[in-house]
Amino acid sequence: MRDHGGDLDRAMALYGAGDWLDLSTGINARPYPLPDLPARAWTALPTRAEVARLEQAARTAYGAGEGVACVALAGAQAAIQLVPRLASAGAARVVGPTYNEHAGALAAQGWEVGQVPDIAALRGAALGVVVNPNNPDGRLWTPEALIALARDVGLLVVDESFADPVPEYSLVRYLDRLPDGVNILVLRSFGKFYGLAGLRLGFALGAPGLIDLMRALAGPWAVGGPAVVAGGAALTDRAWQEATTAQLARDAVRLDALATAAGWSFVGGTVLFRTYEVGDAEAVQARLARANIWVRRFPYAAGWLRLGLPGREPDWQRLEAVMAP
């Protein structure tokens, strides 16, 4: 199985049960307050009109123009699983290191997948994938650079799962201005920024023909009633979005200060996660785990640790006590 954050089963198998603070993901620990969910959200299948309203809320929140289509799916992961079926298997390239499900899903469907260090190396690929901002190093590419690249890629998939706090880097608002926009597919995660990963909600945006194909592949009722109701409320709550973005920025500065005091150096990240060079990542992860704090390390970088941001003040104090030199 491919390694991931959020693997508390592994943490407990190694270190025992307890009051775990899971900082191994990039999920916002200050979640959107769930609205009251009507009984129908649980007892009935969502109607096409209800799903259409949710998709319109996403289009508006992400700045999509009139010519951009959107499909709601069971998380960005569901979209990643569908991408390999959008074209005949061929040569795919993924800018990495990055979220490993992109390469895994493509390889499972017969694609020949290569990892490349930067977007310039995607040119000539039948399918190219870039995560923007990138996970785990936070690298960013401008919309202008990605638009120029798209002319030389069969299908360019841009995973914007962590883009909510940096909308100026999103390609969505440019898609309907591009004559060749049909070959760009943008993926968005709902659960990370809104802190409601359990709802399993995400979106794919692009040209209508491409999105129609994704909708057909996903099948009916790709999202459930609770996700339709809660997602629609959150996506239209501009005040919460702005306040949360500002709070996350303050929290990121706070975590960087703790890391600096601990002797760690900043590698990169977003306001939803921070990646540091810590020396011996395995030893530091184990030290934190013995205090029931779980963080993410990576098989390809022996010194890197990635931490999500705590939400509650007691959790910040727990982390600070363990990180203190």
Residue 281, phi-psi category: left (phi > 0), alpha (psi -120 to 50), beta (remainder)? alpha
| Mean pLDDT to the nearest integer, 301-309 | 98
Do residues 57 and 134 both lie within one domain? yes
Answer whether residue 45 is part of any domain: yes
CA-based nearest residue to 77, from 209, 198, 184 = 198
**Boundary residue ending a domain (236, 268, 287):** 236
Answer whether residue 120 is part of any domain: yes
Task: Centre a 10 Å sphere on the Cβ of residue 244 and count the other Cβ atoms it contains.
Answer: 21
Which CATH number characterizes residue 137's domain?
Answer: 3.40.640.10
The reported pTM is: 0.96
Do residues 148 and 277 both lie within one domain? no
pLDDT tens digits, 181-230? 679 999 999 999 999 999 999 999 999 999 999 999 999 999 999 999 99
The average confidence (pLDDT) of the chain is: 96
Do residues 220 and 312 both lie within one domain? no
Q: Provide the pLDDT for residue 182.
A: 75
Q: Largest Cα–Cα distance in the chain?
A: 56
The Cα angle at residue 164 between residues 159 and 190, in degrees rounded to 5: 70
pLDDT tens digits, 55-93? 999 999 999 999 999 999 999 999 999 999 999 999 999
The count of domains in the chain is: 2
Answer whether residue 292 is part of any domain: yes
Q: List the structure tokens of 52.
A: 């259409």
Q: Domain of 249? A: 8-31+239-323
Burial tier of 7 (Cβ tally within 10 Å: 0-12, 13-18, 19+): middle
- Given a contact cutoff of 8 angstroms between Cβ atoms, the answer to whether 72 and 56 are in contact is no
CA-based nearest residue to 283, from 303, 253, 312, 298 = 303
Answer whether residue 2 is part of any domain: no
- Given a contact cutoff of 8 angstroms between Cβ atoms, the answer to whether 175 and 186 are in contact is yes
Phi first, then psi, for residue 213 (nearest 5°) are -65, -40
CA 130 – CA 95 distance, rounded (Å): 5
Using DSSP's 3-state secondary structure scheme, residue 127 falls into strand
